[in-house]
């Protein structure tokens, strides 16, 4: 996982747990990347280690790996396991069940990055762009 982005995502996750008075459990964080294979590996790990009821995939591909592996393990999504992904690309709409996502605007991210690159005097190295949660069939 990209070190900065991965750290930011984990920090946001831990902050959300704290905001909702949910105790932190380091076993709930699977160290992988954004790949389909990481989604498969994480679901295999979680299914053998714990009785999870929800998973946040680090990407749409990882979430697809999670869902496909859950189905092979006879875990019904969303009845037994809710899955949400981060990205919201076209992939979330071409799988079954369609994946609930934290949808980012990659166009806006690219436009913002270029503006930062070409602007003079911009000292900020990190800018957060907007996102939305699109609920679909996996949660």
Residue 1's pLDDT band (cuts 50, 70, 90)? very low
The strand pair at 131-134 and 100-104 is best described as antiparallel
Domains of the chain are 3-134 (3.40.50.2300)
- Does the predicted model carry a pTM greater than 0.85? no
Q: How far apart are CA 66 and CA 23, in angstroms?
A: 24
* pLDDT tens digits, 61-73: 999 999 999 999 9
* pLDDT tens digits, 12-53: 888 989 999 999 888 888 888 889 999 999 999 988 877 889
The full length of the chain comes to 139
Instruction: Print burial letters for 113-130: b (CB count within 10 Å at least 16), e (below 16).
Output: eeeeeeeeeeeeeeeeee
């Amino acid at each position: 996982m990209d070190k900065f982005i991965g750290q930011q995502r984990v920090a946001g996750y831990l902050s959300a747990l704290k905001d909702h008075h949910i105790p932190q459990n380091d076993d709930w964080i699977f160290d992988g990347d954004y790949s389909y294979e990481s989604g498969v590996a994480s679901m295999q790990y979680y299914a053998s280690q714990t009785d999870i009821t929800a998973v946040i995939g680090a990407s749409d591909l990882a979430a697809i790996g999670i869902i496909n592996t859950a189905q092979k393990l006879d875990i019904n999504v969303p009845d037994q396991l809710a899955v949400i992904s981060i990205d919201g690309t076209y992939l979330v709409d071409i799988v079954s069940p369609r994946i609930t996502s934290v949808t980012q605007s990659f166009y806006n991210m690219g436009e913002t990055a270029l503006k930062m690159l070409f602007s003079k005097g911009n000292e900020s190295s990190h800018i957060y762009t907007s996102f939305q949660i699109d609920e679909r069939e996996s949660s």
